[in-house]
Amino acid sequence: MSWTSDWGRKIPNLLVGALAGIVGAIVTALAMAASRYWLGIMPPPESVPDRVAPLLDIDTFFDMFGTYGGYNGLKQFGIVSGLRGLLTAGIVVGVLYAIVIESRVSRRSTKWYFGVSRPAWLFLIGAVLTVWIAFVALLWPVLPGNYIGIPYSQARVLSIVALLTWFGLFAATVMLVYRATTQRAGPSAVEGEPEATVEEQPVADAVSRRGIVAAGAGAVLVWPVYRLIERMYDDATFTYDGRPYSGADIQPITPNNRFYTVTKNVVDPDVNRDRWRLEIRGAIDNDITLSFDDLQDFEQVDQESTLMCISNRIGAGLFSNAVWRGVRMRDVLMAAGVHDDAFELKLSGADAYVDTFGMDYATDENTLIVYEMNSEPLPRTHGYPVRVIVPGLFGEKNIKWVTRIEVVTEDEQGFYEQQGWGPNFVPPTRSDIFRPRTLGAGQRATFREAIPAGTTVDLRGRAFAADRGIRSVEVTTDDGETWSPATVYYPGTDLTWALWQFQWVPAQPGEYRVYSRAVDGNGDPQPSEARGIIPQGAQGYNIVTATVV
């Protein structure tokens, strides 16, 4: 009976193929984790979800938050699916490899290196090249990401080489594990021997023994993979992504360790400042590449300005205020010589996050490239060593860990804009109440504690109008029947929030609806109509229900 028609003996080979694939996947996972950890290269379980996230529309994106447990749950789901996908792909390729190498054609064909047949070699080479090219094409926009801050143009090459190395390593492992496990003793393995002799080898025992060794080796490698992933997990953004600055003790300037944080990353960049470069490219006369020291050649400015996320609900804390130190974007652009057909800036971070803003903002004197926050080097989580601050636009546009600024001549879309956020990224004027302590947001907030009638309540809140400034704030305690001026005790500047205060003495027990309205520096009142955060940010009153007893 011919071997190839005997399924009873074929199945062990398929199992060996699957085993080789699993070991290949584990070895590859180890290589990927090590490259990510030490070289900052984004591996597919991270880069594929990152590439796909902007392609989802906002509703799907938020539905997935619901399904997987918020942004953090979704990020974990992405990584876990990636690892599962790697394992599945490993098994599929391993089994296909077994089918190819054990085929009649393969057994009859000449052997190439390592005594492995030509068809088997061609299968692996073809698979590696196909998958590599497909990944380079799919991941093209995120390939310049590098979490230790290797400059943008080098990072793309590095990522492409890494993909080939990982896939090549996978194929080599499959080949070697398969070969070691199935290698037959005696002359039958030698090229040119008649096939018949192969059938006579009692291979089953040897196969199972070597298979156990290979499985053991694979299992042992799971440990370092696990340890590396665990170390990165400790470093992950899960503990702080989405952290608001809220509470009854809000200060004019947010301390760095309480500044709100939003990041798309599972593990944020940890940029090496000496290696870091800022590349200015695109529709300019002179390409410029700035080191951290080079930045200091431009005039240094200090600027207090407030940053707010587009998904900050009314009354919620995804906004904060700091004093930033850096240089003006327009000074750097001046040195580069921007062409007349410039349309907007396309900015990229070390994490391959991309966003854009128009030349009006790019050349505004308030748009900065900053390296200090409240007199300290930028914290890692806020963009160390350098980020962009663009007052007047939502937080999304303030690129952290910035590595590249490209002047483009056509409209391009950023990470979140692709999902359908915007197109207007100018925050509407808003105000809210943070003291006494409140629960909930928007129109459904309440004071946590009941208020005794006749006592003086020290109402405090924030008001923010992007780069338009706050002219005044009024308060109502009777659901808009009457409005009284609040005292703005911290006016800030046109670029910051203002903090206000109002002494309220409720005379009678009952339920009250308390809220504020701000007027911006242009004299325009804050919009009264409620609007959700999708797609252009929330607006409306922060209506707090007070129970007076």
Nearer to ligand MTE, 346 or 400 (CB): 400
Any contact of residue 264 with ligand MTE (CB under 6 A)? yes
Nearer to ligand MTE, 13 or 348 (CB): 348
Any contact of residue 262 with ligand MTE (CB under 6 A)? yes
Interaxial angle between packed helices 152-182 and 118-139, expressed in degrees from 0 to 180 and rounded to the nearest 10:
150
Nearer to ligand MTE, 117 or 306 (CB): 306
Name residue 547's beta-bridge partners.
Answer: 511
Shortest separation between residue 132's beta carbon and ligand MTE, angstroms: 27
Nearer to ligand MTE, 167 or 401 (CB): 401
Interface residue with ligand MTE, options 20, 307, 368, 473 (CB under 6 A):
307
DSSP 14-48: HHHHHHHHHHHHHHHHHHHHHHHHHH----HHHHH
DSSP 411-464: ----TTGGGT--S--PPPPEEEEEES-EES-GGGEEESS-B-TTPPEEEEEEEE
Any contact of residue 263 with ligand MTE (CB under 6 A)? yes
Shortest separation between residue 309's beta carbon and Mo ion, angstroms: 3
Within 309-348, which residues bind Mo ion (CB under 5 A)? 309
Pairing of strands 376-377, 354-358: unpaired
Any contact of residue 395 with Mo ion (CB under 5 A)? yes
Helix and strand numbers, DSSP H then E, in the chain = 12, 20
Any contact of residue 262 with Mo ion (CB under 5 A)? yes
Any contact of residue 261 with ligand MTE (CB under 6 A)? yes
Any contact of residue 349 with Mo ion (CB under 5 A)? no
Residue 345 tokens read as 């800036």
Nearer to Mo ion, 396 or 406 (CB): 396
Task: Report how far Cα 450 is from the mean position of its chain's Cα atoms.
Answer: 42
468 interacts with, out of Mo ion, ligand MTE, none, CB within 5 to 8 A per kind: none
Residue 440 tokens read as 């909930």
Token pair 């090249």 in the structure block, residue: 129
Shortest separation between residue 273's beta carbon and Mo ion, angstroms: 25
Closest CA to 485 of 473, 477, 501, 471: 473
Angstrom distance (rounded) from CA 404 to CA 349? 7
* C-beta separation of 424 from 466 below 8 A: no
SS3 138: helix
Which residues fall within 8 angstroms of residue 275, CB to CB, at 6 or more apart? 148, 149, 150, 151
260 interacts with, out of Mo ion, ligand MTE, none, CB within 5 to 8 A per kind: ligand MTE
From the list 98-106, 146-154, 253-261, 455-463, the region that binds ligand MTE by CB under 6 A is 253-261
From the list 10-18, 139-147, 394-402, 476-484, the region that binds Mo ion by CB under 5 A is 394-402
Any contact of residue 422 with Mo ion (CB under 5 A)? no
From the list 112-120, 225-233, 257-265, 488-496, the region that binds ligand MTE by CB under 6 A is 257-265
Which residues fall within 8 angstroms of residue 295, CB to CB, at 6 or more apart? 278, 326, 327, 369, 371, 386
Shortest separation between residue 494's beta carbon and Mo ion, angstroms: 22
Taken as a whole, the chain contains a residue count of 549
Within 318-357, which residues bind ligand MTE (CB under 6 A)? 349, 351, 353
Residue 18 tokens read as 């699957």
Within 368-387, which residues bind ligand MTE (CB under 6 A)? 382
398 interacts with, out of Mo ion, ligand MTE, none, CB within 5 to 8 A per kind: ligand MTE
Shortest separation between residue 462's beta carbon and ligand MTE, angstroms: 16
* C-beta separation of 381 from 240 below 8 A: yes
Residue 110 tokens read as 């000449």
SS3 106: helix
> Where do contacts with ligand MTE occur on this chain (CB under 6 A)?
259-265, 307, 309, 349, 351, 353, 382, 395-396, 398-401
> Where do contacts with Mo ion occur on this chain (CB under 5 A)?
262, 309, 395-396
